[in-house]
Structure 1
Amino acid sequence: MKVLNKDELQIAEGVLQKHFPKSYKTYGFIYGINRNKPTTLEVVVDTWPDFKVIICRPNLKNKRAALFTNKVSYYSMDDRALEKMLKEGDAFLWSTNFCVGGLDTAHLPMLKEASSHRKVTYRAYTLVHLLYLPDPNHLLMPSIDSELESRISCLNLSHVELVNKTWKFGGNEKSYNIIENLISNFLTCCIMNDKGEPVSWILLYDYCAMGILYTLPEHRHKGYAKVLIGTMAKKLYAEGYPLYCYIEEDNTVSYKLFKSMGFFEDVNYRAAWYEFNV
């Protein structure tokens, strides 16, 4: 196992580009790291340079890591190599509490077996669809009148509490830290009311996926979500970001929304969020 340095991370980013859409989440983390976004992660591989498994995991030497959830993301090109990393050593930091996000559900039996072998408990958070836009020309952008366009803006730190209390996974100190970090360091897009207050918004996670899309109840059914998705997608494309998101399986409204705007899905692929050492 090897921890990648700055130059090696650049190479790894290029390799993962060849394995979209399944590699999007791990690629997104590395994309951000390579552009000097703040991170509490380190990246390890099974071998170098011809790696088969790449893992983004908490850097236990990073003092800021305690402020956030212990996130793990991986991409595997070889099930045998992944199984070996799960069974041997601490590539997944089994002695700590951590959450594997966006894992391929085809690997669940392997992960559960490894956790059982190590007497580590686990629980499922959610199953998700991976939706992506490989070609921005496929984006079905809604028309925007000049009045609405004038109200499109970005979130700032004064909006952290609002976003945190309306986020499904928010309402606590760690989620507040997550939102604060995203607003401070990643692209955001929102629609303001006539008082200059956000009424609808979308953020970018630190793995560069669009998310935390929300409209205040009294401002729904006005097409704001489509405007935000389209505006954010254009911004991301202009700056070279990947264009993708995860939608929970029971969130049919968001699923239909992104599909209606031209996003694609690999119907043979499902991802999940699982927490280990609960």
Structure 2
Amino acid sequence: MQILTSPAQLQRLEGILKKSLPLALPVYGAVLNITRGNPGDFEVLVDKWPDFGAVLARPRGEVPVNDSYWNTQTAFYRDLGAYRALLETPGCQRWDAAFIIIGLQDGVTTVSQDLARAKGVELDITEYYTYMHPNPSTMPEPRLDPGVRLGSLLPSHVDLLNETWPYGGNARSRRYLAKLLGRFPHVCVQDGAGEPLSWVLTDHFGTGAHGFTLPAHRRRGHMRVALTVAARRAQARGFPTYGHTAVQNGPMQQLQELLGHQRLPGICRYILHNPAMDKDGP
């Protein structure tokens, strides 16, 4: 196991992962963020270098044992056996903590299931469709309604984000959303008074995240504007435009397809290890 730290190593890894898209999307996005200032304070591990068989992007340093929002990781492998060996390497994972691994490859799930069974660890797996836009510059020009403008979310809006996020509503999710808001790009559609109507965040992996429109302001094209602007800005930064959509969220799937996003084959899985430990502390 080796943690890549030098700019030359990370740039080389970035190039290799780019050739492995779309399966390497979340890891590729994490590496892009690391090589562009590392706002998420992440690191990447490989089983060996430079002829690696597996790579894992994870938070750097100590993380709370009860916070999977903080301890969300992602993996990509070229050799499934190498990925299994990497996860079993001492120091790679804390199996007595709550953590999430995101994977677009079925083997990521298989390895977690096998190791969890052997270690007596519970899993909670959530499935998503992954959508990617091949060229955001071709997206239709967004049109804002009169009295509506593009703006920015403020730190004071974190409670609104936490209340409206289906996976939020607790202290850990609030801390996580505050971190996303403060460190990564976002798009917000506001009314004339500057109050948020619709927004899209970005996470550690370059993923479009927490897209939401307030119920009273839906069916007015606000999310269409937010997604289009977010996609074009991501492209301008050199990032791919992609996101994970809940399999039951038909309206968001339809909107993305209308805007030219393409659904990738297969399923993205968020694999939560030790879900019973994932809770607010005293």
Q: 1:147 to 1:230 in 2, by over 3 A?
A: same
Answer yes or no: is the 8 Å Cα contact 2:55–2:83 preserved in 1: no
Cα distance in structure 2, aligned partners of 1:277 and 1:218? 37
Deviates more, 1:214-223 or 1:97-106: 97-106
The question of 1:23 aligning with 2:20 is answered no
What is the correspondence of 1:242-253 to structure 2 with a 5 Å cutoff?
A: 242-253=240-251
Cα distance in structure 2, aligned partners of 1:49 and 1:74? 17
Q: CA deviation at 1:104?
A: 2.4
> What is the match of residue 271 of structure 1?
268
Q: 1:145 to 1:99 in 2, by over 3 A?
A: closer
Answer yes or no: is the 8 Å Cα contact 1:189–1:201 preserved in 2: yes
Say which SS state the counterpart of residue 201 (structure 1) adopts.
Answer: strand
The question of 1:78 aligning with 2:79 is answered yes
Deviation string for 1:206-239 (max 9, x for gaps)? 2111121111111111011111101111111112
Cα distance in structure 2, aligned partners of 1:145 and 1:252? 24
What is the correspondence of 1:105-144 to structure 2 with a 5 Å cutoff?
A: 105-124=106-125, 126-139=126-139, 141-144=140-143
Unaligned stretches of 5+ residues in structure 2:
276-282
What is the correspondence of 1:97-176 to structure 2 with a 5 Å cutoff?
A: 97-124=98-125, 126-139=126-139, 141-145=140-144, 147=146, 151-176=149-174
Say which SS state the counterpart of residue 269 (structure 2) adopts.
Answer: strand
Q: CA deviation at 1:59?
A: 3.0
- Letter of the aligned partner of 1:144 in structure 2? R
What is the correspondence of 1:4-83 to structure 2 with a 5 Å cutoff?
A: 4-7=4-7, 8-61=9-62, 68-83=69-84
What is the correspondence of 1:154-233 to structure 2 with a 5 Å cutoff?
A: 154-233=152-231
Deviation string for 1:179-200 (max 9, x for gaps)? 1111112111111112211111
Say which SS state the counterpart of residue 151 (structure 1) adopts.
Answer: strand
Deviation string for 1:76-112 (max 9, x for gaps)? 0111212222344342332322111235234423321
Deviates more, 1:6-15 or 1:227-236: 6-15
TM-score, normalised with respect to structure 2: 0.89
Answer yes or no: is the 8 Å Cα contact 1:202–1:210 preserved in 2: yes
> What is the match of residue 278 of structure 2?
none
% same residue: 27
Answer yes or no: is the 8 Å Cα contact 1:67–1:177 preserved in 2: no
Answer yes or no: is the 8 Å Cα contact 2:73–2:101 preserved in 1: yes
Q: 1:110 to 1:253 in 2, by over 3 A?
A: same
Cα distance in structure 2, aligned partners of 1:67 and 1:53? 22
Say which SS state the counterpart of residue 146 (structure 2) adopts.
Answer: helix
- Letter of the aligned partner of 2:129 in structure 1? H
Answer yes or no: is the 8 Å Cα contact 1:131–1:247 preserved in 2: yes
Cα distance in structure 2, aligned partners of 1:106 and 1:204? 26
> What is the match of residue 234 of structure 1?
232
Say which SS state the counterpart of residue 147 (structure 1) adopts.
Answer: coil
Q: CA deviation at 1:243?
A: 0.8
Cα distance in structure 1, aligned partners of 2:273 and 2:180? 24
- Letter of the aligned partner of 2:163 in structure 1? K
Cα distance in structure 2, aligned partners of 1:191 and 1:104? 34
Q: 1:143 to 1:59 in 2, by over 3 A?
A: closer
Answer yes or no: is the 8 Å Cα contact 2:162–2:173 preserved in 1: yes
Number of equivalenced pairs: 273
Cα distance in structure 1, aligned partners of 2:86 and 2:144? 53
TM-score, normalised with respect to structure 1: 0.90
Cα distance in structure 2, aligned partners of 1:53 and 1:47? 8
